[in-house]
Amino acid sequence: MSVHVQNSRMTTAKLRQMKANGEKIAMLTSYDFTLASLVDEAGIDILLVGDSASNVVCGNNYTLPITVEEMIFLTKGVVRAAQHALVVCDMPFGSYQVSEEEAVRNAIKILKESGCDAVKLEGGEEILPAIRHMIQAGIPVMGHLGLTPQSVNQFGGYGLRAKEEAEAEKLLHDAKLLDEAGCFSIVLEKIPAALAERVTKAVSCPVIGIGAGNKCDGQVLVLHDMLGLNQGFKPKFLRHFAQLAGTVKDAVNDYIDAVKDSSFPSDEESY
Ligand code: KIV
């Protein structure tokens, strides 16, 4: 086990430098102060307050229900924890699709009220005007292409994206547009590894993959998934770096037993 000690705050400029140097970027989701503190102390480069909070924190089946206010509430805790990492907050479904003005207003609200460093949006050419306006307003934007869970009802599921030539070409085109517009990074989710490699080589900004092979400039996973806390979810791309569900349940079982048999609290644990 190693702790990747960093002595200064991560910036979008440093991320670009990491791509140029061939240094991989490690990103994880976080939704609360306590876990985000541990992840930050371990040396993560980017903390993403993903709208996967809708599933992980709120227990919804989709990312769609989570609101701007809920994302801001969660992001505040992560921002307080982050001593090193760049903190990115997902813009939730409905907060940037209606108009460019509304998109910029919501992005500004998220930045001002949560204190995060940047926002992430799902989509390509269709949301380019909103992205351009945000970047013109000085807001760092991370793109997200491939499987974009906010569009699950359009896709009809969470399967692999861009298998066919036409969708692969559109994705490559979209990635170039996002890069030219000034996105500081792009997430590629659940697409063939060869396509992710093409995109990574074609754009100047760092590309972060999830289910997109190992030729991207970095990787992201949902924290609760990689810690093995989310027992029902094991897609091919997911590696469990720990099995914490069992650890948590064992600890809670031991606690229940100790309460029931009156061995907790002991004299030493009493005043
Ligand atoms: O919401 C999220 O957790 C994400 C990651 C999967 C990239 O967008």
Query: Are 122 and 251 contained in the same domain?
Result: no
Catalytic residue list contains 41: no
Residue 44 carries which DSSP code?
Answer: -
- For residue 67, being part of any structural domain is answered with yes
Residues 6+ apart with CB under 8 A from 182: 132, 135, 141
* pTM as predicted: 0.96
Residue 167 lies in a domain: yes
Structural domain includes residue 129? yes
7 falls within a domain? no
Residues 132, 180 contacting (CB under 8 angstroms): no
Ligand 1 pocket list (CB less than 6 A): 29, 50-52, 90, 187, 189, 210, 220, 222
**Could you give the 3-state DSSP secondary structure of residue 118?**
strand
Residue 65 to residues 30, 60, 149, 150, 199, Cα–Cα distance (Å):
18, 8, 12, 10, 31
Q: What is the pLDDT of residues 121-150, one digit of tens each?
A: 999 999 999 999 999 999 999 999 999 999
Helix (H/G/I), strand (E/B), else coil: 90: strand
Question: Kind and range of the H or E element at 234?
Answer: none
- Is the distance from CB of 66 to CB of 92 less than 8 angstroms? yes
Which protein residue's CA is at the shortest distance from atom 8 of ligand 1? 50
Work out how many domains the chain is built from and give that number: 2
For atom 1 of ligand 1, the residue with the nearest CA is 50
Q: CA torsion sign, 52 to 54 to 56 to 57? A: positive
Q: Which is the catalytic residue, given 122, 189, 197, 268? A: 189
pLDDT in tens, 1-52: 677 766 699 999 999 999 999 999 999 999 999 999 999 999 999 999 999 9
- Span 143-195, pLDDT tens digits: 999 999 999 999 999 999 999 999 999 999 999 999 999 999 999 999 999 99
Whole-number Å distance, alpha carbon 146 to ligand 1 midpoint, is: 12
Whether 158 maps to a domain, the answer reads: yes
Residue 80 lies in domain: 12-240
From the CA of 57, how far away is ligand 1's center (Å)? 13
Q: How many Å apart are CA 148 and CA 99, to the nearest integer?
A: 19
Protein residue with least CA distance to atom 5, ligand 1: 50
